[in-house]
Structure formats: structure tokens, C-alpha cells
Chain A
Amino acid sequence: MNSGAPDRQIPLAPNTRVFGHIDRQIDINRIVVPGFPVSSTGEFMRGHGTYFRNGELHASLAGSVRQVNQLINVQSIKQRYSPEVGDVIVGSITEVQDKRWKVDINSRSDGHLLLASVNLPGGELRRKTVEDELAMRDYLVEGDFISAEVQQVHHDGACFLHTRNLKYGKLGLGLAVKVPSYLIKRRKAHFHSLPCGVGVIIGCNGMIWLCEQISEDVDGGYNIDLAARVPEETLRVIARLHNCIRLLANHGIHIFETSIMFCYDLSKSHGTQELLRNDLAAELADQVIQQLRAGMEE
């Protein structure tokens, strides 16, 4: 019971409609909107995101112009997540079907997780029996969160996942944060144990999982103790990280462990719930961008 803390005044959010104004130093000339002419001569080939009109190429999407030799295409900034082989995914089970689960991965269609692609208790090389098929619900039910890797993507877009590695599997006590997927870069590692003491899984599909620690479970997360108590300090850190990730997402900053840690360290001077204020968030976002730029220039 939080009876000791004095009542805080309800913060009045300043009347900023946009998430605060920051100067990103973006070259406006490189970004186009639909209808904008992209090439003046007719010698270029039409790529994705463009169309011909009156002998000129115009953009049909809002995005940046890319040119490869004679091919011009426009790459949109905001796109739906499309899975590629090797991506780490954090998703939730939507259906339990015959020998497979359907997983919501924030993409155009659900991913498939075959029974043959998971690690069940008893070791990795265990043969899947008929009892396993009937007991699928004992392992993963609708709504459960999992971390998995994309095994293959079919030509029709169907994506197959697997958890055949000790680090993947069912996720237990923790918090999922959904951010736009285009803010997540593909990196070497997506599982991080941050120096502040919590574990984070950055899924390429835009779902980020915050938990007490990253554990490698032989049983693939089968035996999760949901009654375990999370220590107070961890709750505090996860709350701050949650606000930091929201802040990064709202201001369009790429989310990876460096940017998260920069934001976390810079936010230490403010209370966690002050990060909910738009003006403070904009200031912090500005500082994070400058620090990232300084880091890149080194």
C-alpha cells in the first residue's frame, strides 16, 4: 500500500499537439510525398513506389527515393513488418491447431509454429508422440507470449517459426511493449541483459519483452513459475525502461540496446512518471539523438 508517499499534483500536460518539436536535421529534399515528381528525364526504369505520368516518374508513396543504376524506387518509411529468415520474434499464440500453433507476429498474416519445431521437456532430440499432439494445450495456449526465430518464409508469405534453441520458448512474468516495427534494426543479438539489471528481448516485429532476467531453459519455458515474486527494484527498473521505450518510439528513434541505455541513463535525473510528460520527453529525445550522433561520429 502506497500510503507513505505524498499525493502528487495531477500534471497538466502542456498544449503541444505534436510530441514536442525537435530539430532532426533531415534533408527535406530527399523525402517525397505521393504525386511528387521523382525524375525529370524519361530514362529511368520504374521501380516500386513510382508511376509514370506525362512521361515523368512520380512517387506513389511517402518515403525516400532510392536509385540503383537506372532503377528508381521509393521506399516508404512506415511499413508493416515482413518476416525474414533469421529474425527474432516476440509474438502471441492466437490459435492451437492440429500439430501447429498460429502466432500473431504483427505482420500481414500469422506465423506458424509447428509442433516439430519446439523443444519440449525431455530434451531436444525427443520424438514427438501422439500424446504430445493431444497435450499441445498444456504447453502453449491462446494468449501466451513466446520468443522464436523465423525458420523459413514461403513464397506466398507464410512464415514458419521455431524455438529450437535454449534461449527461445514461452515467456513468463514480464511486460510486452509494442512499437512500430520499422524502428527495430536487425542486429547480431536481440537478447540483452542490460546493466541496469533486467533482461530485454527486442523482437524484429516490433514487440519488446522486458523481464527480470534472460534465462536459458532446457524445457523451453515449459515450467514457468507464475507465482514467483518480482523484486521491487526490478519493477522500478522495468517501469523506467517501459517509459523510455515509449519515448523512443514516439519520437521515431531506432530502438536497440544502445539507444535504450542512453535514454535510461539520461532519464535518471527525473522521476519515472515525469517521462510521461510530452515536453520532458521531447527534451530527452533530443539529448538521446545528440548522444547517438556523437557516438556514430567517433
Chain B
Amino acid sequence: MDVVRSKGQRMFLHQAIEHGIRIDGRGSFDHRPLSLEQGILRTADGSARVILGKTELFVIINAEMLEVDDSSSLEKRLNFTVKIAPQGPNAARFGPDEKRRDDEDLERDEILQLSVGIRPEQENSSVIMPPSDNVLDKLAVKYEREISEENECLVSRDIEAALDKIFNDLSELELERIAVSKNHVWSIEVELMVVKYAGNLLEAAYLGAKAALDDFVCIQPPVTHDTETGKDLIGAVQDEDALVSWKFDIEKTPLIGTSYRVGDSVFLDPNDYEEVLNPVLCWVAIDRPTSNKIADDDCCISWSALTGTGGTRDGIHREMLTTAIRSARKWDPVLRDYIKLWRQTKRDPYATVLLSFNK
């Protein structure tokens, strides 16, 4: 049950946000406690777990070798998928299941009617007739359902698109190394599993993806060329010392920050109550500023996007951007501390990790 449903509670939350005294005691620009772990799933090639307040998600990276005809002509990208577990607070916001109803599929002769204008009962197929009413109704229902699904707040799709943009277009990761040989390419799937959605999913997903990419180790197997078929072949690694592995340099990814707006107030990191108010989201990608003394305004923004219903005015837009930049710069030292911590502690790759789930 969504706890915040009554008008009285919504008004209360609005006032709390306006005053900057939110219901969990934070100010407008305070984040919830963060817990970030790397390498928690030894069966995956790279993994991470993020807990931001009550929002919890797992990031799992797996690499699969694909045989292709020509790897140089392919676009080398990381593939992001976001899945949301169907329980937890605010789970109902994720739209219906993607089950296609069979009776809405168009039959073959109906498709013919729509495309070419031929009805099955016609004898003379050279006469073009408009499609029958039944077929038009069916098409209308199908389109209505598809449009309403698109319009629903499909948060997972937004997150996938944002992460795709951040890590493929806006960063300078060495994605060329994914092509192992002319005929082989790694297909890297980054899967984010949201265990609990309690607000501020984009920042949590970004941090998790970064942590998992830092954990991910990719292998470059020995390549030989088969002159008969003209194809490259992958050899097995005979000697463990000869294993060539490489990692992504996550310093090459931009800093991301998100800010939210409800009414005229801009704030960071909504919790599960505030998320139900449907705040407008603004996220920015900035290059790392050269020093901490630079004001928030003085950053180089490489991308910014607004999502959510409700537009924004000029003054508020600038405030949202500045606040988002502030958030991005706050995350930078946090992530660096975590990376330092991970590098220092030596992990036993065979240690079993106890995963316990919070309530």
C-alpha cells in the first residue's frame, strides 16, 4: 500500500520540502546514507550493490563472446537493462507486465487488409478496398494500449536510456577493446536489479554501474588467424601467467548529479514518501572540475536532461541545474573514498558472501 495517498499528507510533504525540513530531518540538499559494495556476486564478471537510504539495487555485469563477420563495423556499446522486483514500496508505478494479449495480435489477412487493401472474400483482387471496421477497431485498441503504456511512468526505460547515454556517449571508456579480433566481440550486458525502489533511482543506478564497472575484469584471449577461411580464431588460455586482462578506467566517466523539483522547491534525493509526489527530475553530466574551489556555476556541463510531467520556468531551471551540479560534486569524493577502500582491502575471490536483505 502506498502510504502517501491522502491530500492532507501530500500538503504536509509539500510544506516540509518548502521549509527545507523534510520528514526524515534532512535539509533540501542532504543525501541519505549510502552503502556501496563491489564484487558481491562471484558468479558474475562484475557486480555491485548500492543501498541509498532504503533504495537498494544490484548491478551485475556479464560478458559473452559473440562471433561476428566484421567487428570493426559494429558499434561498441555497453548494454543496459533495468529490472524492478515487483515488491517493495512504490512498486505499482512500474506499469503493467509486458504480456501481449493474443487476441490483440492481428491476423495475416487483417494485416493484408491494412497494408494492401485486399479483403479475403474479394474475388477480384485488383480492387482496393478500405479495411473493414473490425480490423480498424482492433488496431485502435492495440495502439491505445501501446500509447498508454508509453505514457505511464516507465521508470526502468528512463534509467536505461540515461545510463546508456552516460556510459556509452558521454564517457571516454575504451570500448574499442571489446572487439577481441576481427570476428569476435564481447557482448557486455549490464543488468540492474532494483530490489527496493524508495526514491532517487538514477543516482543509485549510476553509482552502482560505476562500482560494477570498476569490478569488471575483461579478458583478451590469444588470437590466431586462419588463412584458409580468412577468419580469426580464439585460442584457449594455456598458461595463467599469460592471461591478459584489462579493466575499464572509470575515471573516464563523467560526474552525474540529479535534482528534483516539487512546486517551486528544488531538492536532492527524495525518499519513498516524496517520490510519490512525482517530482520533476533534472540530471546533468559534468566534467570533473579542476579544483574544489570553483563555484557550482563554473562547471562544464556535457549533458543535461529533464524528465517527468510538468515543465519548468527559466529561474527554476537554472536552480535545478545548479543543484544537480552540487549533487554531482558531492558524490565525487564519496566514490573516490570507496574506490580507495576497495583497492586497499584484498578480496579473497572464493569467500562466500552472506547476502541478507533488509526489511
Using a CB–CB distance below 8 Å, which chain A residues touch chain B? 1-2, 5, 7-15, 17-19, 92, 104, 106, 142-145, 171-178, 224, 226-227, 229-230, 232, 235-236, 238-240, 242-243, 250, 271-273, 275-278
Give complex CA distance A227, B354 in Å: 49
Name the residue on A nearest B265 (C-beta). A1
| Secondary structure class of chain A's binding surface, majority of residues | loop
Q: Which of B25, B29, B37, B354 has a CB less than 8 Å from the CB of A271?
A: B25
Q: How far is the CB of B179 from chain A (nearest CB, A)?
A: 37
Asked if B227 is at the interface of the complex by the 8 Å CB criterion, the answer is no
Known: A7-B330, A12-B334, A176-B3. A240 touches B25 (CB 8 A): yes
Interface 1/0 per residue, B144-187 and A, CB below 8 Å: 00000000000000000000000000000000000000000000
Query: Quick check: is B11 within 8 A (CB to CB) of the other chain?
Result: yes
Which residues of chain B come closer than 8 Å to A15, judged between CB atoms? 35, 37
12 additional contacts, CB 8 Å, given A12-B33, A238-B23, A273-B30?
A2-B28, A5-B29, A92-B5, A106-B1, A145-B8, A174-B8, A176-B4, A235-B15, A239-B16, A239-B21, A275-B25, A276-B25
- Tell me which residues across on chain B come within 8 A of A229, comparing CB atoms: 15
- What separation, in Å, do the CA atoms of A176 and B28 have in the docked complex? 21
Q: Which residue of B lies closest to A235 (CB)?
A: B21
Q: Select which of B6, B11, B20, B34 is within 8 A of A144 by beta carbon.
A: B6
6 contacts between A and B (CB under 8 A): A11-B31, A15-B35, A229-B15, A230-B16, A239-B22, A276-B33
B24 at the A/B interface (Cβ < 8 Å)? yes
Lowest 6 CB-CB distances: which A-B pairs, in order? A272-B25, A2-B20, A143-B5, A13-B33, A13-B35, A239-B25
Q: Are B334 and A10 within 8 A (Cβ)?
A: yes
Asked whether A12 lies within 8 Å of B337 as measured between CB atoms, the reply is: yes
Chain B 8-44, CB-CB to A under 8 Å as 1, else 0, gives 1101110110011111111111111111010000000
Q: CA A172 – CA B11 in complex, angstroms?
A: 9
Cβ contact of B25, chosen from A175, A176, A243, cutoff 8 A: A243
Q: Are A8 and B30 in contact (CB under 8 A)?
A: yes
**B271 → chain A closest CB, angstroms:** 9
Q: Which residues of A contact B19 (CB under 8 A)?
A: 232, 235
Size bracket of the B interface: 35 or more
Evaluate contact between B6 and A171: CB separation under 8 angstroms: yes
Minimal Cβ-Cβ distance residue in A for B51: A13
Q: Does chain A have a CB within 8 A of B7?
A: yes
In whole Å, how far is A262's beta carbon from the nearest beta carbon of chain B?
Answer: 18
**Any A CB within 8 A of the CB of B356:** yes
The CA-CA distance from A236 to B27 in the complex, in Å, is: 11
Taking a contact as CB atoms under 8 Å apart, the answer to whether B33 and A277 are in contact is yes
What is the CA–CA distance of A17 and B356 in the complex, to the nearest angstrom?
6
Contacts of B35 in A (CB 8 A): 12-15
Question: Which residues on A sit within 8 Å (CB–CB) of B53?
Answer: 276
| Interface core residue of A12, A229, A250 (most chain B CB under 10 Å) | A12
- CB distance B334 to A250 under 8 Å? no
